[in-house]
Amino acid sequence: MTRLQALNPDTATGKTKELFNAVQGKLGLVPNMMRTMGNSDAVLEGYLNLSGALSKGKLSNRTGELIALAVSESNACDYCLAAHTFIGDQLLKTEISVLEDARLGKSADSKTQAILQLAKALIAKNGRVNDLDVNNAKQAGVTDTEIAETIAHVALNVLTNYFNNTANTEIDFPVVAAL
């Protein structure tokens, strides 16, 4: 059972209604996570702004989704695993095996694997990675810009993982459970 109420976009008002309308216009629907975040327009707007900014960054949307899967698996967030598996598969047309590997911090591409390993290290070490963690990424060709964006993607996904795990958000994508 959910712990926080998902708002109905049809009855929302004020800033929350504006944000829901923007999401509806972009996605064609307002997913339950965003409907639940709408309880605080500041939370929803913050999430949307950071997500939007990162979508214009150096890291590809595909890499962002792979980071989301690695982080979501680490935090056992079934809602986010379901959402990012759906996005990766249906919208980005990424092979399921690639998405499954990302959950474990693995990739056939050495640079992507280094990014995923850094993301996993950030989670495992509560952000207190060491020189070796950063140097391993750099040796695989990850730039300082990409490291900065990896950190931001991890932070964004920690927000959504913690939010959904706390709210027990109803999953509105095909269900994917943490391993």
Query: pLDDT tens digits for 26-84?
Result: 999 999 999 999 999 999 999 999 999 999 999 999 999 999 999 999 999 999 999 99
Q: Summarize pLDDT for 141-167 with one digit per residue, the tens.
A: 999 999 999 999 999 999 999 999 999
Domain boundaries, the chain: 14-54, 61-167
Fold classification of 61-167 (topology level): AhpD-like (1.20.1290)
Q: Exposed, middle or buried, 151 (CB in 10 Å: 0-12/13-18/19+)?
A: middle
Q: Summarize pLDDT for 84-120 with one digit per residue, the tens.
A: 999 999 999 999 999 999 999 999 999 999 999 999 9
Q: Which residue has the tokens 């972009």?
A: 26
